[in-house]
Structure 1
């Protein structure tokens, strides 16, 4: 049996390349106050004109927008905001310095833990996550094979564009054969720079398999689970080795452009390439040449259709901003919008009961109204094809840490998010049981 100490040793490895953050030399990050909806429109205009990297779209009167800009375009951005009377401030004056300091903080965190790390308390590399997934299955099945011989199945959806395995766990007491049980499907790291999303999924596995509390047996006995920790492994690896803030996949189509990648969360076949996207193949919101051009999006689609009659909740986990969002992104609402809002509010309220005072309360609502319209999102597509409750979860924002969440906060985010996941599983299961019993 492989012990936890072996995991701890593996988690001490680092694949970070020295000087990799120099690619952001001269870049700055600015916070933008949004006082009214007209300012959101103005911000969208300048983002499109200058092809800015939007870290957070904000919410009018509630959350500031945050954008990164190159040295060449900084004065253009600030002049545009000033001309329109929009208040702004410096969020990060030196992106390279900020990222270098975060890398050092993560390294120090590992050293201080002195080999006592567990998978969901760190930012594991792809290789570490791949090992952990195998270990969770084998170790748990070895200890509990006689009682739960079919509790866990490790599935390889297939290779990414660059050939890395895209794996996920199926967790079920009935090996997914009981049609009366709803399925909760969650995934993470569709946007590769959002590292803090992966530990949340690993922690969910831990709670279901290794630390099932006495008051949580219903979550395992009445719900089946599909958990994919890294949707976009190519991009995730690239953020560890080359560009920390890389967001897209790493597909390459030289007949179209010399730029790599597509925004996987704009690549789904719903209102494809119509709003909230860019035709520039080098843009972070480039949707791709066609719906499902990205194999990583195809895997999400195929899992959904394989279990469409039973998936009750789809949770697409992102970072950051304290949002629970649902469709549709074209400013229309699904027929069950009231139920969608209710289950989302249950999730948010459960998280807020244990959140840190420095984090805002979760905002719950339609993604287009609360943030901005987009096309081709996973959330919208999964909702449209028939999953009752499809959400985008934006994990917490702590002070000014944006994507650079200190590892000391990972445990807090895991615990509070699990509260929300558990609450939403129970709330949605009630609706599922009623519908199932009425058929």
Structure 2
């Protein structure tokens, strides 16, 4: 069951954010009360959605009341919501039997098989690579897409990954759809994306967590490493707190059971080490690093410590162009994307892959938070996947074209 391992009923509360002080309080309570922040919110624009475990509910609401922060029940029974999602997804799979892999939520073995098939059928442009094995021994596969076998130094590299947080099921379909459009369904208007740019796309950053979220706990976020000397009962670390930049300094918890536990030290997790090595392997040509998450309609860039990259004007330009191209194709009732520095627009987090990539020399390191629909939060019905894929691909294509222009100007 997808809802397995949740135990007692947890609730999700909407929190009406007024200012940065409210955000600061939420971040403090996140660690103190082991909160699970589903949506960080934006003061005056978006409420925060926060899952609270039963044993902390009274204290959480008390602290909000003391601060004069309005709140309400967004989801009174998370387990029921998970069960409903599972039933709906299973019915949808029966109706859409043999649907394209990028229009559903595939298991990791299916993703591996798809990448391997493309490597066999399109050997002139697709190379399948194993970045290294995950903690549980799964190959972390990605594709290199290139018309010149990655040997043309005049071409920038676009590096994309997804499912760093395993419960964010809607992110791998976007990566898979991007691969499909570049390889199997290359259209005349997109030929420049293949001829001018080389691509590195990893559909699942966290394969162990991805599988665990499918068979045990739909809301699992972290990796699946285990160290009994740290905790005899808790597994994994937040891979987006595990990179060696501002490590362990803010928006983290020392509790190894917390979803924002950064690990015992920077790069303690093999998955983050493998992606780090991928970045260094191609660092001289990577122009964009796109780290995909869900959800909230955000396009973010560094740094998370109240500083800005030296090229922030160009970085904001690229991010805003992405948002504009996605918004032009969004559903009528969907929110518009918010664009800006992650610390100011969303919240600061130490040890992120975005900040690390930016710091080591990637010109445009971006975190993309895919859209939310109708209060479904992480449980996006599969009926929305095609919409998310097509609108997001338009933004990806635009950032790729801009990356080419900026890269050529550097040569």
TM-score (norm 1): 0.92
Q: Which residue of 1 aligns with 2:222?
A: 248
Distance 2:198 2:30 in 1: 41
Q: Which residue of 2 aligns with 1:201?
A: 175
Distance 2:359 2:39 in 1: 25
Secondary structure, counterpart of 2:4 in structure 1:
helix
Q: Is the 8 A contact 2:5 2:216 kept in 1?
A: no
Q: Which residue of 1 aligns with 2:320?
A: 345
| Structure 2 gaps, min length 5 | none
Q: Which residue of 1 aligns with 2:71?
A: 88
Q: Which residue of 1 aligns with 2:208?
A: 234
Distance 2:183 2:401 in 1: 18
Q: Which residue of 2 aligns with 1:314?
A: 289
Q: Which residue of 1 aligns with 2:14?
A: 31
Distance 1:25 1:137 in 2: 46
Task: Report deviation, 1:127.
Answer: 1.2
Secondary structure, counterpart of 1:73 in structure 2:
helix
Q: Which residue of 2 aligns with 1:384?
A: 359
Q: Which deviates further from its counterpart, 219-228 or 46-55?
A: 46-55
Secondary structure, counterpart of 1:31 in structure 2:
strand
| Structure 1 gaps, min length 5 | 1-17, 142-148
Secondary structure, counterpart of 1:216 in structure 2:
helix
Q: Which residue of 1 aligns with 2:131?
A: 157
Q: Is the 8 A contact 2:2 2:213 kept in 1?
A: no
Task: Report deviation, 1:299.
Answer: 1.2
Q: Map 1:328-343 to 2 at 5 A.
A: 328-343=303-318
Task: Report deviation, 1:378.
Answer: 0.1
Q: Which residue of 2 aligns with 1:11?
A: none
Secondary structure, counterpart of 1:342 in structure 2:
helix
Distance 2:17 2:219 in 1: 24
Task: Report deviation, 1:130.
Answer: 1.2
Distance 1:116 1:267 in 2: 37
Distance 1:264 1:22 in 2: 21
Q: Which residue of 2 aligns with 1:134?
A: 116
Task: Report deviation, 1:24.
Answer: 4.5
Q: Which residue of 2 aligns with 1:294?
A: 269
Q: Is the 8 A contact 1:25 1:95 kept in 2?
A: no
Q: Which deviates further from its counterpart, 89-98 or 74-83?
A: 74-83
Task: Report deviation, 1:25.
Answer: 3.0
- Runs of 4+, deviation exceeding 4 Å: none
Q: Which residue of 2 aligns with 1:277?
A: 252
TM-score (norm 2): 0.98
Task: Report deviation, 1:22.
Answer: 5.5
Distance 2:5 2:307 in 1: 43
Q: Which residue of 2 aligns with 1:9?
A: none
Q: Which residue of 2 aligns with 1:121?
A: 103
- Kindly indicate whether residue 34 of structure 2 is the aligned counterpart of residue 51 of structure 1: yes
